[in-house]
Amino acid sequence: MLVALCGRGAIGRVHGSFMTMSHSAVRGRRKMSQSMEQRMVWVDLEMTGLDIKKDHIIEMACLITDHELNIIAEGPNLIIKQPDELLDGMSDWCKQHHGKSGLTQAVRDSKISLPQAEYEFLSFIRQNTPPGVCPLAGNSVHVDKVFLNKYMPQFMRHLHYRIVDVSTLKELCRRWYPVEYERAPKKQCSHRALDDITESIKELKFYRENIFKQNERKHIDNGSLQS
């Protein structure tokens, strides 16, 4: 009855309103999708050593930032159970530093298995990033990637194959901008995963503000530098 009283003009206006809302919603979803594709998945691992053939992950933390390096999601920070014989066989360096930080004892006390840890981290990144487009980020993160490929392959399959390695910028800064290199944030060397991630993000922010300078743009054309 209401439709009959309103007439065709009103129906057209209502229909147009729905169309406008629909287009607006689509644009909003597209913008959100593009924003999520720019996110970076920050990971840091602590291991029993660096030998991929025999060493294992004992701690992992994960944060997600947007493209401006703002932390938008804090993921799990998990200590993974490993057998005592593996911990007892660590190098002197690992025994000293992981013992001093309390990590070794925390690993002995942990109830979290490797499969459980992978499930929790995978669930976290699935909730906050689209599949296959966001890179792994961190300091010397190529090492973490080797261990993640072996021990958490499902987690890695969700990420892009590229990485954002802050240590690359550190080395370039040391060579090209030595003054800025000396001013860069210093590592606290706590050797705990979450602390290392937050320090890496802080370090990359410094390089962005001090190395990627807003000078007059230049481009290379056929091998020659032009202003």
Instruction: Name the residue type at position 195.
Output: D
Rounded to whole angstroms, the Cα distance separating 19 from 208 reads 42
What phi and psi values does residue 117 have, to the nearest 5 degrees? -65, -45
Alpha helices in the chain (DSSP H): 2-37, 84-88, 92-101, 103-109, 114-128, 141-151, 153-157, 166-176, 178-183, 193-210
The residues, ordered by sequence, that sit 6+ positions from 114 with a Cβ below 8 Å of its Cβ are 56, 57, 80, 151, 152
Q: What residues are annotated to the active site? A: 191
Q: Label the pairing between strands 163-165 and 57-65.
A: unpaired
Enter the tokens of residue 152.
């958490």
Enter the tokens of residue 209.
């503000």
Nearest to 208 by CA among 170, 159, 182, 157: 170
Cα 38–41–46 angle (5° rounding)?
165
Rounded to whole angstroms, the Cα distance separating 44 from 51 reads 17
